[in-house]
Amino acid sequence: MHEYSIVTALLEQCEQHAIANQASKITKVVIKIGVLSGVEPALLATAFETFKLEGRAREAELEILHQELVLECQACQSTHTIKERSVICPSCHSYETRIIEGEELLLMQLELETDE
């Protein structure tokens, strides 16, 4: 289950940002997961709850934004946002498409708290 290694890296990145900003606590972590990222959001959320127990993220809330697939068709020059995992153009049914969004896993927002 690679979600565990992803969460470990995510928490390390959050800790580094917290240290760099002299924060004592991480209160919220917002990530964006693309439909073709290869990451299962439910498993990632479970892993986050399991691994956050150490460090500044102990009480952090995880918010997951789901990124649908955005395709650009090279054949008919159209752009489509679709929910399913398909790279076929809904307009002309061409396979000549380019993925614009939907493969990413990004840290979008990090809320920190200081002792002051």
Report the binding-site residues for Ni(2+).
Answer: 2
Report the binding-site residues for Zn(2+).
Answer: 73, 76, 89, 92
Helix (H), strand (E), coil (C) string for 43-111: HHHHHHHHHCCCHHHCCCEEEEEEECEEEEECCCCCEEEECCCCCCCCCCCCCCEEEEECCCEEEEEEE
Q: How far is it, in rounded angstroms, from Cα 82 to Cα 101?
A: 10
Q: CA-based angle 60:62:68, to the nearest 5?
A: 165
Report the binding-site residues.
Answer: 2, 73, 76, 89, 92
Q: Which of 109, 99, 80, 90 is nearest to 34 (CA)?
A: 99
